[in-house]
């Protein structure tokens, strides 16, 4: 009996302790929840992190004697061309060898031949007239000797006028003039016979036949159009402010889209033309290309009327600093770096500015670090990280 009461009292004590512990946990949790709900959030204020300096590319300036590489476009044209015309009338009988459009003929080669039958007869007639005039002169010279003998035997002095008549001086001059006229006619007939064969005045290419075999030509009829092959010209247009860099004799490199990749031809600046281009009012220069059809050398052939790209290489004249055009900001401003890698704004004076390159005359010193890429919104004194760009 006593044991059962003791066990009951122990169980009752455990129940009270468990209930008390549960109550304490509940009260503690409610208190903690109330405290958390009533406490304002606390945000720890920290200073913002320092921004990372931008990464820029720089080059080191060098002042050396140099000139810009100028680019222009031009059209190929003939340096020599001519329409060969007949200088005598007659029937065009045949053309010479290789006298076809695109054929090359050497200087002095036969281009075409005109029927010579009438011209040969005219030459024979002129030679006969010359022989007749020479005979008349010989007869008159005999009469001269007889008249002089008679005058001397007469023994009297006559006035100059009468003496000239007695000595037959007018008849002698007439006979001499007749010989001269006959000789001129003979030479003209011989020249006409020679002109019946048309020859090329210089080494040339036949561009076009203007008449066909069997055509009846009159004096001055055009027969063949020739183009000289020793040299072509390229008439190129460029801005007028570039002319100060150019001089006769400057080297020129020519390229064309129609040529194989990497192929080019060399030329020489031979003239700066006084007139402006009609449409764009740009200055014009004349570039000479030797052996343009590549007959004696390797390389692509120039074609008349083709548009080519001309890269002119002026001779260096003054010491300048070269920069990529991307380094320039509006107002001819560049950004440089000091010894602490901080940006400094510098205004320069340009000698030339192209699409890819600019040449600085003043405003920069040699071995200055100039920013060429990486700047978005630069400011004076801004610190940057540096990477060396390809010079």
pLDDT of amino acid 235: 95
**At residue 294, does pLDDT exceed 50?**
yes
pLDDT tens figures, 229-256: 999 999 999 998 899 899 999 999 999 9
pLDDT tens figures, 119-176: 889 988 988 988 888 888 787 777 776 766 665 666 666 666 666 565 566 777 778 7
pLDDT of amino acid 160: 67
d(CA 264, CA 301) in angstroms, rounded, equals 10
Averaged pLDDT of the chain: 84
pTM, full prediction: 0.69
pLDDT-derived band at 214, boundaries 50, 70, 90: confident
pLDDT tens figures, 100-120: 998 999 999 999 999 888 888
| Domain regions of the chain by residue span | 1-30, 56-66+318-388, 71-78+228-313, 116-195
d(CA 229, CA 203) in angstroms, rounded, equals 6
**At residue 5, does pLDDT exceed 60?**
no
CB 72 within 8 A of CB 235: no
The topology (CATH level 3) of 71-78+228-313 is Elongation Factor Tu (Ef-tu); domain 3 (2.40.30)
pLDDT tens figures, 152-168: 666 666 666 666 565 56
pLDDT of amino acid 8: 47
Give DSSP secondary structure letters for 209-237.
E-S-TT-EE-TT-EEEEEEESSEEEEEEE
Phi, psi of 145 (to 5 degrees): -65, -40
Segment 57-72 mean pLDDT:
90
Q: Crossing angle, helix 117-154 and helix 169-195, to 10 degrees? A: 170
H helices within 113-267, ranges in order?
Answer: 117-154, 160-166, 169-195
Q: Containing H/E element for 311?
A: strand 307-313
> Count of CB atoms within 10 A of residue 351's CB?
19
Give DSSP secondary structure letters for 255-309.
E-TTSPTT--EEEEEEEEEEEEPTTT--EEEEEEEESTT-SSS-SPPP-TT-EEE
| CATH number for the domain formed by residue range(s) 56-66+318-388 | 2.40.420.20
**At residue 325, does pLDDT exceed 80?**
yes
Is beta strand 385-388 parallel, antiparallel or unpaired with respect to 55-60? parallel
């Amino acid at each position: 009996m006593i044991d059962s009461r003791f066990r009951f009292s122990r169980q009752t004590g455990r129940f009270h302790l468990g209930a008390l512990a549960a109550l304490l946990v509940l009260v503690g949790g409610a208190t903690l929840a109330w405290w958390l709900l009533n406490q304002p959030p606390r945000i720890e204020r920290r200073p913002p992190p320092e921004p990372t300096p931008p990464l820029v590319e720089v080059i080191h300036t060098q002042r050396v004697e140099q000139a810009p590489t100028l680019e222009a476009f031009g059209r190929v044209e003939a340096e020599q061309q001519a329409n060969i015309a007949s200088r005598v009338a007659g029937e065009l009988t045949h053309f010479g060898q290789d006298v076809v459009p695109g054929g090359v003929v050497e200087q002095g080669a036969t281009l075409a031949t005109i029927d010579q039958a009438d011209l040969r007869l005219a030459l024979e007639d002129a030679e006969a007239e010359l022989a007749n005039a020479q005979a008349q002169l010989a007869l008159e010279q005999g009469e001269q000797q007889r008249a002089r003998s008679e005058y001397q035997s007469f023994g009297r002095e006559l006035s100059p006028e009468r003496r000239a008549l007695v000595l037959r001086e007018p008849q002698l001059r007439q006979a001499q003039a007749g010989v001269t006229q006959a000789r001129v006619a003979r030479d003209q007939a011989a020249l006409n016979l020679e002109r019946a064969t048309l020859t090329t005045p210089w080494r040339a290419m036949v561009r076009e036949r203007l008449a066909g075999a069997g055509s009846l030509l009159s004096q001055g009829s055009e027969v063949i159009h020739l183009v000289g092959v020793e040299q072509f010209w390229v008439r190129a247009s460029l801005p007028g402010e570039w002319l100060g860099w150019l001089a006769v004799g400057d080297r020129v490199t020519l390229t064309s889209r129609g040529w194989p990749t990497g192929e080019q031809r060399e030329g020489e600046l031979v003239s700066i033309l006084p007139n402006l281009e009609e449409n764009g009012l740009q200055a014009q220069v004349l570039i000479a290309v030797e052996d343009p059809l590549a007959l004696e050398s390797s390389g692509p052939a120039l074609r008349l009327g083709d548009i080519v790209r001309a890269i002119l290489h002026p001779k260096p004249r003054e010491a300048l600093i070269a920069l990529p055009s991307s380094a320039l900001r509006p107002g001819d401003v560049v950004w440089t770096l000091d010894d602490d890698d901080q940006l400094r704004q510098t205004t320069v004076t340009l000698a030339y500015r192209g699409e890819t390159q600019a040449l600085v005359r003043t405003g920069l010193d040699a071995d200055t670090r100039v920013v060429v890429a990486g700047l978005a919104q630069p400011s004076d004194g801004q610190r940057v990280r540096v990477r060396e760009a390809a010079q």
